[in-house]
Amino acid sequence: MAIKTRFTEEFGIEHPIAQGGMQWVGYAEMVAPVANAGGLGFLTALTQPTPEDLAKEIARTKEMTDKPFGVNLTILPAIKPPPYAEYRDAIIQGGVKIVETAGYKPQEHIDHFKQHGIKIIHKCTAVRHALSAERMGADAISIDGFECAGHPGEDDIPGLILIPAAADKVKVPMLASGGFGDGRGLAAALALGADGINMGTRFCVTKEAPINEAFKRQMVENDERATNLIFRTLHNTARVMKNAVSDEVVAIERKGGAKFEDVQHLVAGVRGRKAMAEGDTDGGIWSAGMIQGLIHDIPTVEELIDRIVADAEKIIKGRLESMIK
């Protein structure tokens, strides 16, 4: 059995489940198993130090799967931005046909990719941003609710409202993102008007995820309260795993008048990567969503996807259908 939606049909995949781009996680080891299990996985372009490295990672992924997969390209305002045009060329030359864009002013990136027949999924946190991306030519939208890991935007709208609000207005296929990790979530997303789900944190807690086991075990042990919202006072909110470091960042911000320089030593990427490599869950900042409260095991990617789809089918065809008299 399978659940067919506009998303599966348009993007040529078996199941309406995507693994979004995740910094330091979106490697071939993560993406290929998702593709092989019938989902849509995304390499993270800027995890690769150079466009040449991205080209090699695309080639490596193709050695591990013959199924569709994509590349995430996050566009951030910066004084010295990465060489985005070169990263785009690596994606195009690598023969990738699906790109997930996220972030700041994606128009030039969407235009360039679409000239080469590449489908675009744009990730956003507000209905107005989704409509803007649709006008720019995005083929699908991933709408990210307040429950998500990473950057939930500044509107604080949870998925139960954001997803149907977007579905009322967005015409292209739409993925529900933020707070999804089981069959109940998939069934709910479809009921709310989405065409599939996008998962980040849940895919991190799988056997194949290239993450230290200590972090996986910690996320299994955590409940839904085990996140912190940092950078609130800087108007660049990020949801991260609750630990000693993120607690300290929150405490500094609560004193008022905090500048980024006051917390920079705590949130530095180098520190976070070192902590991850060493398995020190209190050593740095780590993105994680509220879905931690619904994560109870560390399955293979295939086991996870199969279970989510089977459970969603049982809910749709069993529990919900039985209620209609």
Closest CA to 162 of 147, 149, 177, 145: 145
- Is residue 220 one of the residues assigned to a domain? no
Q: What are the backbone dihedrals phi and psi of residue 280, each rounded to the nearest 5 degrees, phi first?
A: -95, 95
Read off the pLDDT band of 269 (50, 70, 90). confident
* Mean pLDDT value across residues 4-17: 98
pLDDT in tens, 223-234: 999 999 999 999
Do 147 and 235 lie in one domain? The reply is no
Closest CA to 37 of 304, 271, 238, 273: 304
Do 266 and 205 lie in one domain? The reply is no
Do 74 and 33 lie in one domain? The reply is yes
- Is residue 79 one of the residues assigned to a domain? yes
- Is residue 96 one of the residues assigned to a domain? yes
Do 173 and 266 lie in one domain? The reply is no
CATH number of the domain bearing residue 128: 3.20.20.70
Q: Is the pLDDT of residue 1 over 80?
A: no
Do 265 and 117 lie in one domain? The reply is no
Do 134 and 276 lie in one domain? The reply is no
CB 178 within 8 A of CB 161: no
pLDDT in tens, 167-202: 999 999 999 999 999 999 999 999 999 999 999 999
Do 283 and 302 lie in one domain? The reply is no
Q: In the numeric block, which tokens belong to residue 108?
A: 């030039």
- Is residue 293 one of the residues assigned to a domain? no
The total of structural domains in the chain comes to: 2
Which structural domain range is residue 175 located in?
7-210+298-322
Tell me what pLDDT residue 81 has. Answer: 92
Measured distance CA(165)–CA(83) in Å, rounded: 35
Residue-wise burial string across 197-234, b where 16 or more C-beta atoms lie within 10 A, e elsewhere: bbbbbbbbbbebbebbeebbebbeebeeebbbbbbbbe
Do 43 and 113 lie in one domain? The reply is yes
CB 159 within 8 A of CB 142: no
* Structure letter (DSSP) for residue 315: I
Do 67 and 139 lie in one domain? The reply is yes
Measured distance CA(207)–CA(199) in Å, rounded: 15
Q: Is the pLDDT of residue 112 over 90?
A: yes
- Is residue 206 one of the residues assigned to a domain? yes
Tell me what pLDDT residue 143 has. Answer: 98
Q: In the numeric block, which tokens belong to residue 293?
A: 């409260």
What Rg value do the Cα atoms of the chain yield, rounded? 19
Tell me what pLDDT residue 192 has. Answer: 98
Tell how many helices (H) and how many strands (E) occur in the chain: 15, 10
Do 201 and 278 lie in one domain? The reply is no
* Mean pLDDT value across residues 104-109: 93
- Is residue 221 one of the residues assigned to a domain? no
* Coil/strand/helix, residue 70: strand
pTM of the model: 0.97
Measured distance CA(4)–CA(110) in Å, rounded: 26
Do 66 and 25 lie in one domain? The reply is yes
* Mean pLDDT value across residues 63-87: 94
- Is residue 24 one of the residues assigned to a domain? yes
pLDDT in tens, 276-299: 889 999 999 999 999 999 999 999
Do 185 and 278 lie in one domain? The reply is no
* Mean pLDDT value across residues 39-45: 98
**Cα dihedral value 153, 186, 301, 146, nearest 10:** 10
- Is residue 1 one of the residues assigned to a domain? no
Rounded to a whole number, what is the distance in angstroms from the first to the last CA of the chain?
25
* Coil/strand/helix, residue 195: coil
* Mean pLDDT value across residues 119-137: 98
Reported as type and span, the H/E element at residue 115 is helix 107-115
Measured distance CA(79)–CA(276) in Å, rounded: 28
Tell me, letter by letter, the H, E, C secondary structure of 3-48: CCCHHHHHHCCCCCEEECCCCCCCCHHHHHHHHHCCCEEEEEHHHC
